[in-house]
Amino acid sequence: MQAMATRFGAASVIAFTLATTAGGAFAGPEAENNFVGLTISGLENTLVIEQTYTAGTVTAPNSIQVDIVGDNNGGGAAWPSGALIETGLTPGSLFQSGAGNDIAISVTGHGNLFAVRQVGYANSVAGQITGTGNAAAITQGGTGNHVSFSQTGQNNTIVVSQSTH
């Protein structure tokens, strides 16, 4: 497992949990290559990252890449509307369980909230948020789900929930 963080600024909060499980034992080299990459420039940005490799039909590692330029992004505040609250996600949380899942989020601005939860195999989220006060909550379960989104401006909201069985 690899974690890489570059932070410019003070008072950003980042918590990691990276785990590898396969029938209660550590899996092969794919699991050990789970990746988290962070580049944060600003103040009061909050993330909680949990990533667990679970062996299955897909053996690729999970990866998360987050790039933030600005202040008060990720979490640190409550969701502004009911649809976001109903997802059950916490602003600033990035969670993946399974294998071959990818999250890539790029944020430029201030006060943008986002969260992603992926459970399963070969799911991906690619998001770009630019502006102030935007919110995005994505949940995916199963295999082969993909979301790509872009928010530009102020106070935009996106909620996506999809699953395959």
| Three-state DSSP class for residue 69 | strand
Per the structure, the count of domains in the chain is: 1
- Name residue 27's beta-bridge partners: none
Q: Within a domain: residue 161? A: no
Domain of residue 89, residue span: 2-120
**How many percent of the chain have pLDDT more than 90?**
68
pLDDT at position 3 is 53
- Give yes or no for a contact between 81 and 127, defined as CB atoms under 8 angstroms apart: no
Residue with tokens 């459970």: 119
Task: Give the residue ranges of DSSP H helices in the chain.
Answer: 29-32, 82-85
Q: What is the dihedral of CA 65, 70, 73, 76, to 10 degrees?
A: 130
Rounded to an integer, what distance in angstroms lies between the CA atom of residue 24 and that of residue 94?
Answer: 23
Q: Within a domain: residue 147? A: no
Q: Within a domain: residue 156? A: no
Task: Name the residue with higher pLDDT: 19 or 73.
Answer: 73
13-22, 39-48, 126-135 — which one is most confidently predicted on average?
Answer: 126-135
- Give yes or no for a contact between 133 and 112, defined as CB atoms under 8 angstroms apart: yes
pLDDT at position 52 is 87
Q: Within a domain: residue 154? A: no
CB atoms within 10 A of CB 162: 13
Segment 76-107, tens digit of pLDDT: 899 998 999 999 999 999 999 999 999 999 99
Q: Within a domain: residue 102? A: yes
Q: Within a domain: residue 28? A: yes
Q: Check pLDDT > 80 for residue 19.
A: no
Q: Within a domain: residue 26? A: yes
pLDDT at position 20 is 46
Segment 114-163, tens digit of pLDDT: 999 999 999 999 999 999 999 999 999 999 999 999 999 999 999 999 99
pLDDT at position 55 is 72
Residue with tokens 């980042």: 14
Rounded to an integer, what distance in angstroms lies between the CA atom of residue 8 and that of residue 43?
Answer: 8
Q: Within a domain: residue 30? A: yes
Rounded to an integer, what distance in angstroms lies between the CA atom of residue 132 and that of residue 150?
Answer: 13
pLDDT at position 32 is 59
Global pTM reads 0.84
Q: Check pLDDT > 90 for residue 28.
A: no
Average pLDDT for the chain = 85
